[in-house]
A = this chain, B = another copy of it.
């Protein structure tokens, strides 16, 4: 499945959250990562993030796409992330 992850976390935790996310996903843009991921890897990612964030202050959203057949991605302006993107 394809995952789009966006996060809005406190300054002190941004570095740690980004480091965790980059183990699983491709950095696309400021506080946005995406990529193919398995159910098991998604579970591990969530667990690691749960420990890293302050659940009363921070917010992480997972957009899970079971298939990318019905979705597309367009960019306006500069492309900031790498080329590993699939949809």
Chain B: CB-nearest residue to A67: B70
Partner of A61 from the list B55, B57, B71, B75 (CB cut-off 8 Å) is B75
A86 at the interface (CB under 8 A from B): no
Give CA–CA (A62, B28) in the complex, Å: 12
Q: Is the CB of A78 within 8 A of B59?
A: yes
Among A14-33, those with CB < 8 Å from B are 28-32
Q: Is the CB of A71 within 8 A of B66?
A: yes
Known: A63-B4, A66-B71, A67-B70. A53 touches B31 (CB 8 A): no
Q: Is the CB of B66 within 8 A of A53?
A: no
A37 at the interface (CB under 8 A from B): no
A73 at the interface (CB under 8 A from B): yes
Q: Is the CB of B50 within 8 A of A76?
A: yes
Give CA–CA (A58, B37) in the complex, Å: 28
